[in-house]
Amino acid sequence: MAIDVKELETLPLEVVGRLVDASNATLLCKLQGTEQQVIYKPIAGERPLWDFPDGNLASREVAAFYISDFSGFNLVPKTILRDGPYGEGSVQEWIDVPEDFDPVIFGQSTAPRLSDLALFDALINNTDRKYGHLLVDARGELYGCDHGVTFHSEDKLRTVLWQFAGKPLSLDQIEYLQRIQSGVDRGYLQSLITDQEINALDNRIEALLRESALPFPSQDWPAIPWPPF
């Protein structure tokens, strides 16, 4: 069942567990009075990153959802910024993934929606797209999670989805980019990321539309995050 945004925004969070493999505080919660689960990442639990000195990871998570939702990519679970048991943080809809789903096998495929995710990562300058961040629910819908290290003003794209490098953009993908270019709420983005990062986003959109193809790996930095899972 899809989560109700009003409930996501207003119902108290009950902590039921912690994702111990996460490098920052990542808590599994239930929305009080429901069976709906969410992921809560309090800003207070973030480790400082030397190459992301501005803002916080939680706001970048929300910015990634906003771009995904506004453009029509629809690849990021509903994500908001709100208060919680350990202060303000990002709260994201939990996606149930079937036990037999293998993200590595899927992530090495050429599933059409993976191409969209590869483009989305290039758009938001994702520095950390790992196989473990790929989620496919029981209906076959693809989502990506963990977008805290995105939108840097310098090119830092690192991903495991390089099988689409050089692939021409589809008409739908071009429309996604043009929609952002023509109507994104810059004022709202300014509450989440810096002006310099918004300008860099504009530049990436222009470059992607100009090339009309997914980018190739750079030779200037590691192209794949480590570990890749």
Among 1.10.3470, 3.90.550, 1.10.10, 1.10.510, what is the CATH number of 5-211?
1.10.510
Q: How many CA atoms lie within 13 A of 29 on its CB side?
A: 25
1 confidence band (pLDDT: 50, 70, 90)? low
Please give the average per-residue pLDDT across 209-224, as a whole number.
Answer: 94
Element at 91 (helix H, strand E): strand 89-93
Classify residue 8 as left (phi > 0), alpha (psi -120 to 50) or beta.
alpha
182 confidence band (pLDDT: 50, 70, 90)? very high
Look at residue 172 in the predicted model and tell me its pLDDT: 97
CA distance 108 to 154: 27
Q: Could you tell me the residue ranges of all domains in the chain?
A: 5-211
Q: What is the pLDDT of residues 62-93, one digit of tens each?
A: 999 999 999 999 999 999 999 999 999 999 99
